[in-house]
Amino acid sequence: MKDFVNYWLRLMVKACLHLYFKNIKVDGKENIPKKRPVILVANHQNALIDPLLLATHTKLNPFFLTRASVFKSPLVAKLLDFIRMLPVYRVRDGFSTIQQNQQIFDKTYEILKKNGTVIIFAEGSHSLIRNLRPLSKGFTRMAFGLKEKYPQTEPVILPVGINYSAHRKSGSRVHMIFGNPIEVDMPNSQSGKLTKSVEKALHELVVEIPNENYEVNLQRLIEAGVDLNDQEAVKEFLESGFVKDPVLPFSGLKNKLMKIFHFPLYGVWLWRSPKIKDKVFDSTIKFLIGFTMGPIYYLALLLLSFEPGIGQWALTILIMAVITLWANKNPQE
């Protein structure tokens, strides 16, 4: 029953993601291994949006490792378990809780033993900064732990880069790139070699802007119309100032119209927005508002369209809401 609901939930989430984003481009799907234990290691820039994209744009049906603090509420913990999320405890959660990680790793071994997939965001935290941060050792511990417990298994590490034209805005673009799988064919004593291999692979998949003068360079890239989802274009501009195939500027009028015809949902966002301390969650909250309340809003407009006197207005708003949602577009950020 859980698998059946999870399957349909992923289909609905995928459809809504394609309405939330203007374009989702996926490269390297041919690199996804078949009938192998897969530890998928990705960069982490956009809170819950990152795992949702990975879950809905592969056929791997993965499990996720996420920080344990979001499992505090029993109801939330049940929901997260339903969508295949597993808690990982960190030092900040208390030393006594870290011991529970072994139970989680044991669970991942059973998943991987059956040629399943586990996703881990190895940077350990999320950030809107377009850079790859140092990787934690969780994925190497998982890979070597699996081989130690089940020597017959042949796990691979699959690096994935996720890039956004604007992390916090709807109507923006996403570019996901699946890299070449990396074999876990060295002894445990060489785990550092595996970490460096994965880190090198991710550097080739993630758009990066140097930390020095980051904000200045980001603004220069945006003003020049450089595609922030294109690693080569960003690198070339920063080195030579040359822009190939610039992203054409636009006013954002389509986004404003979308907000007008979705004002009840936009109003919820305006009410909720000031309470969000970590702005990395902006897109997550916007998406969840649309995913949970959007269907109710459209259904209400549809039912009102049959009412005398207001029916034509309700139908007009419904049609315009659908059109502006489909046309929604936001500039790079």
52-80 burial string, b = 16+ CB within 10 Å, else e? Answer: bbbbbbbebebbbbbbbeebeeeeeeeeb
250-278 burial string, b = 16+ CB within 10 Å, else e? Answer: eeeebbebbbebbeebbebbeeeeeeeee
Q: pTM for this structure? A: 0.91
Model confidence over 307-320: pLDDT tens digits? 998 999 999 999 99
Q: Which range (91-95, 255-259, 291-295, 319-323) has the least confidence?
A: 91-95
Residue 96 clears pLDDT 60, i.e. is over it: no
Model confidence over 178-196: pLDDT tens digits? 999 999 988 888 889 999 9
